[in-house]
Every structure is written in structure tokens, then in C-alpha cells.
Amino acid sequence: MKQITRDSIKNTAIELIRKKGYSSVTINDICDSCGITKPTFYKYAGSKDELVLDLYDTTVKELVSDPYHFIETDSSLEQLLYIFSKLIEDTTAFGYDLFSQMIIANLQDNRHSLDMRDSLTRMGELIIKKAQNKGEIRNMNDPQILYHSLAHLFTGHELKWCISNGESNDFEEFYLGLNAMLDVRDDLRDLYKDYLTKPQNNK
């Protein structure tokens, strides 16, 4: 018998929502797909909204627990670009409908879904400091301020993507903003193109 966990229910719910849309998926649909009863659903998941509140956490966990992409390059700027490319990849894979519901749930009652995670923030700040020391970026302001500013810039582009129902899906503007904000060295300004992907208009 398949073990029932919050993560297994969440993963099933996310797949259903991506296929049918958030408003079209009911708790009964999720229960049927998981082979569980409503009491079991409420025991592990709480509500449908609860399942979309921590979309970032899986991505952050992968980034901080898998050092491969950070040790395969000596460029601190590339390491920083990888962090944001992974966030973009996973966000767009969830789809604008699912991500929009996370934002709506937090507007109704701030559940801190958009708060920066300490582990990833510390990593980002350290990478920026190393990039400054190497001369890869020329903005010598406090790495903490710079990383927080980049995170807010990124969130702004995510919101723009959601508001446009996935139509405004060119995240190149974010990378250009990163170049400008950090004052990336001239010969490295096109490096972001190696990490640039065109997100699909997933629901």
C-alpha cells in the first residue's frame, strides 16, 4: 500500500491543478487521485490552499543540499545565475495559475510564502561577496542588501508573469536588471544567456 504523506498529497494535487486549473480541482478530486478519504486529506493537508503555500521550499532544499552546480564552476557570478535560473525553472513549471493562488492566499492572510529562506539567503550573500572579491561584479555595496534587492526584483517579475496570465514570460529583463544592479563586469554581461530559458505558459 502506498504510504500517504503530506508531500504525496501535495504532489498529486499540484499535478491535477496544472492539468485542470486551480478552481476546477476539488478536494474530492484530490482524494480520489490519492485514494484517500476526506478526513485523511484534512489530517495531512489541512486545505487546498495549504498545499500551495510552500512551493518555494522544495526548490530551496534542492539548491542548498546539492553542491554540484556550485563546485563545477569557479565563477561566483555563474553560481548566482544558477540560483535564479533554478527558481525561474521551477516557478514556471508550477504554472502561473498555481503560483497566483499562492500569492492570493498570502494576500488574504500572510503565510510568509514569499519570505526569503535563511539558508538560500546566506548562500546568495556569500556568493555575491566572492564575486565582489574576484572583480566579477563592481557594485561593492553590502552583499546582504544586494541579494535582498535581487530577490525583490525577481519577485516583481514573478508577479508581472502572474498578472499577465503567463503571457509576460520573458525573464531576460530580470537578468538584465541583475547585470545593472550588480554592475557586472563588461566581459561577463552576456553570461546570463547560458541560463536563459523561455518559460512555457503553463497554467
The domain ranges of the chain are 6-48, 53-195
What letter would DSSP give residue 137? Answer: B
Residue 115 carries which DSSP code?
Answer: S
pTM strictly above 0.95: no
The answer, yes or no, to whether residue 67 has pLDDT greater than 80, is: no
pLDDT in tens, 80-101: 999 999 989 888 888 888 888 8
The matching CATH number, chosen from 1.10.10, 1.10.287, 1.10.1760, 3.30.1490, for 6-48 is 1.10.10
pLDDT of residue 82: 92
pLDDT at 69: 73
- Give 61's pLDDT tier (boundaries 50, 70, 90): confident
Q: What is the mean pLDDT of the chain?
A: 88
Is a pLDDT exceeding 90 seen at residue 170?
no
| Rounded mean pLDDT, 25-50 | 92
Helices 96-108 and 6-20 pack at an angle, to 10 degrees, of 120
Read off the DSSP letter of residue 184. Answer: B
